[in-house]
């Protein structure tokens, strides 16, 4: 703690004044909003399977290794998620255009439709969380978070 003769620094701030704490709290609120009533469960999705499906819907085929890096989860978990989404007919493994030894993950037409349905539910949950911010503040928050999230480029 700072002594009376010094100016408090970031290190002296209580947890609730720290950036990491605000990010953890925001993440908790989003997770809570998505899990309330098991948001994606009626569609047969989990938060992680929705993320993977969204990656597959991005337009270019992603190798499983790329998905591991983008989702920051273990390769075995990605294999499990890919297997489940493939079994449900939402994605498929296809040979890479340039390297036939590689497989890429792409969404099926049913997967594209499912992702759009799920995205509407997630968008509603996100809107509830961001309700206290105006549109400009929401856009600024997204831009800033994309700047600090490795591997995630801002979309606006």
Give domain limits for the chain: 17-134
Q: How far apart are CA 136 and CA 63, in angstroms?
A: 35
pLDDT digits (tens, 9 = 90+) for 60-84: 788 888 898 888 899 999 999 999 9
Residue percentage of the chain with pLDDT more than 90: 39
Q: In the CATH scheme, what is the code of domain 17-134?
A: 1.10.10.10
Predicted pLDDT of residue 13: 58
Closest CA to 154 of 47, 141, 60, 53: 141
pTM (2 d.p.): 0.77
Q: What is the pLDDT of residue 147?
A: 87
- Which H/E stretch holds residue 107? strand 103-107
């Amino acid at each position: 703690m700072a002594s009376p003769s010094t100016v408090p620094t970031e290190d002296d701030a209580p947890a609730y004044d720290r950036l990491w704490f605000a990010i953890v709290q925001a993440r908790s609120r989003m997770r809570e909003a998505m899990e309330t009533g098991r948001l994606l469960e009626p569609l047969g999705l989990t938060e992680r399977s929705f993320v993977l499906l969204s990656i597959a819907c991005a337009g270019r085929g992603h190798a499983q290794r790329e998905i591991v890096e983008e989702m920051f989860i273990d390769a075995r978990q990605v294999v499990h998620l890919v297997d489940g989404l493939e079994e449900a007919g939402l994605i498929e493994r296809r040979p890479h255009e340039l390297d036939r030894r590689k497989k890429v993950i792409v969404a099926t037409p049913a997967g594209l439709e499912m992702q759009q349905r799920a995205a509407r539910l997630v968008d509603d949950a996100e809107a509830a969380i961001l309700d206290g911010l105006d549109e400009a503040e929401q856009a600024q928050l997204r831009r800033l978070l994309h700047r600090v999230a490795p591997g995630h480029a801002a979309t606006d």
